Amino acid sequence: MQRLEGRIALVTGAGSGIGRAIVKACAGAGAAVYVTDVDLAAAEAVAGDIKAAGGKAEAMAMDVSRGQDVSAVFRAVDQAHGRIDVLVNNAGLNVRSDFRHMSDADWVKIREVNLDGVVRIARDGFELLRKSQRGSLVNVASIMAERGLRQLTAYSATKGAVAALTKGLAVEYASFGIRVNALAPGFVETALTARALKNPGIQKALLDSTPMRRFGLPEEIAAAAVFLASDEASYITGAVLAVDGGMSASL
Ligand SMILES: NC(=O)c1ccc[n+]([C@@H]2O[C@H](COP(=O)([O-])OP(=O)(O)OC[C@H]3O[C@@H](n4cnc5c(N)ncnc54)[C@H](O)[C@@H]3O)[C@@H](O)[C@H]2O)c1
């Protein structure tokens, strides 16, 4: 029996990078998956790959910063299945700027996706997770929740809030059979990071502070997400799991 056999999983921002790897890993572990993204074409391509590999997938457009989108998707899932077993808050972005020059619009954009989106999904998804009776909410935070780097300050603030939110929700949702955990990935090459990680100076500085001396793969983050989502993690709630090649452990 596969680890997520018979489960219904929904991943946000699943059209690219880490979200794509997570939704594919959930499908590979036997879940029927909802591939959601603000970019519907990207979500459809991922759902197509999963179906071609024999999995069950449906693509849906969902901008996590729009309440109407989230309600519409949850309504559709409720009608189809009446529950969600695995809900992964993965959608995220950054707008690079030095903090002292950051516009209000850029701050709002970062916050609306990275934090308000997570808050909305965790709140509006509660009823569907409760109906699962073994619901697992996985938030994708970041090593940056506890670190500072130039042009990532606002991003860090949102990720720190997601880590704190994870602990509060773990306490509030435990009596409803819902576990809530977060992943704190280190640096992984995706559309979000490709440009920075290809910069030789940044690359060297980051690899020098990563004991394993390499960046992570989206599939390595996805493996941890499937673990947290599965019954193997049945006594784990409120954890923020570092998946970072040792970066957060090192001085
Ligand atoms: N790549 C890294 O090194 C790294 C490290 C730590 C944490 N993370 C986190 O992992 C998550 C995924 O990042 P990634 O690196 O795969 O980036 P990515 O840019 O490859 O993927 C992000 C996905 O989110 C989608 N998205 C953006 N805004 C959205 C919105 N409003 N609603 C729904 N979907 C939206 C994008 O279309 C895209 O498909 C993010 O939360 C990011 O902060 C990434």
Ligand 1: distance of its center to the CA of 86 in Å? 18
Verdict on whether the full-model pTM lies above 0.75: yes
Q: Which two tokens stand for residue 236?
A: 């784990």
The single residue listed with the structure tokens 């306490």 is 171
Ligand 1: distance of its center to the CA of 160 in Å? 16
Q: What is the pLDDT of residue 234?
A: 98
Q: Which two tokens stand for residue 229?
A: 């989502």
CA distance 31 to 131: 17
> pLDDT grade, residue 1 (50/70/90)?
confident
Q: Indicate whether residue 35 lines ligand 1 (CB < 6 A).
A: no
Of the candidates 85, 136, 155, 117, the residue with the CA atom closest to the CA atom of residue 13:
117
Q: What is the pLDDT of residue 246?
A: 98
Q: Please report which residue ranges of the chain form alpha helices under DSSP H.
A: 17-28, 40-52, 67-81, 104-111, 117-124, 126-132, 153-173, 194-198, 200-208, 218-229
Q: Which of 93, 166, 195 to mutate to test the pocket of ligand 1 (most atoms within 8 A of CB)?
A: 93
> pLDDT grade, residue 206 (50/70/90)?
very high
Name 16's Cβ contacts closer than 8 Å, sequence gap at least 6. Answer: 37, 39, 42, 190, 191
> pLDDT grade, residue 237 (50/70/90)?
very high
Q: Indicate whether residue 142 lines ligand 1 (CB < 6 A).
A: yes
Q: What is the pLDDT of residue 225?
A: 99
The single residue listed with the structure tokens 């994708």 is 140
Write out pLDDT tens, residues 2-22: 999 999 999 999 999 999 999
Mean pLDDT of 235-245: 98
Q: What is the pLDDT of residue 174?
A: 98
Domain ranges of the chain: 8-190+218-243
61: left (phi over 0), alpha (psi -120 to 50) or beta: beta
CA distance 16 to 19: 6
Ligand 1: distance of its center to the CA of 19 in Å? 7
Mean pLDDT of 107-121: 98
Ligand 1: distance of its center to the CA of 166 in Å? 18
> pLDDT grade, residue 251 (50/70/90)?
confident
Write out pLDDT tens, residues 139-164: 999 999 999 999 999 999 999 999 99
Which residues is 10 bridged to in the sheet?
34, 87
Ligand 1: distance of its center to the CA of 151 in Å? 17
The rounded mean pLDDT for the chain is: 98
Q: Indicate whether residue 239 lines ligand 1 (CB < 6 A).
A: no
> pLDDT grade, residue 211 (50/70/90)?
very high
Q: Indicate whether residue 42 lines ligand 1 (CB < 6 A).
A: yes
Largest CA distance in the chain: 53
Write out pLDDT tens, residues 32-83: 999 999 999 999 999 999 999 999 999 999 999 999 999 999 999 999 999 9
Q: Indicate whether residue 193 lines ligand 1 (CB < 6 A).
A: yes
| Identity of the residue numbered 51 | K
Nearest CA to ligand 1 atom 2: 188
Q: Is 34 a catalytic residue?
A: no
Percent of the chain whose pLDDT exceeds 90: 99
Percent of the chain whose pLDDT exceeds 70: 100
Q: Indicate whether residue 13 lines ligand 1 (CB < 6 A).
A: yes
Q: Indicate whether residue 63 lines ligand 1 (CB < 6 A).
A: yes
Fold classification of 8-190+218-243 is Rossmann fold (3.40.50)
Q: Which of 16, 108, 115, 121 to mutate to test the pocket of ligand 1 (most atoms within 8 A of CB)?
A: 16
CA distance 193 to 215: 11
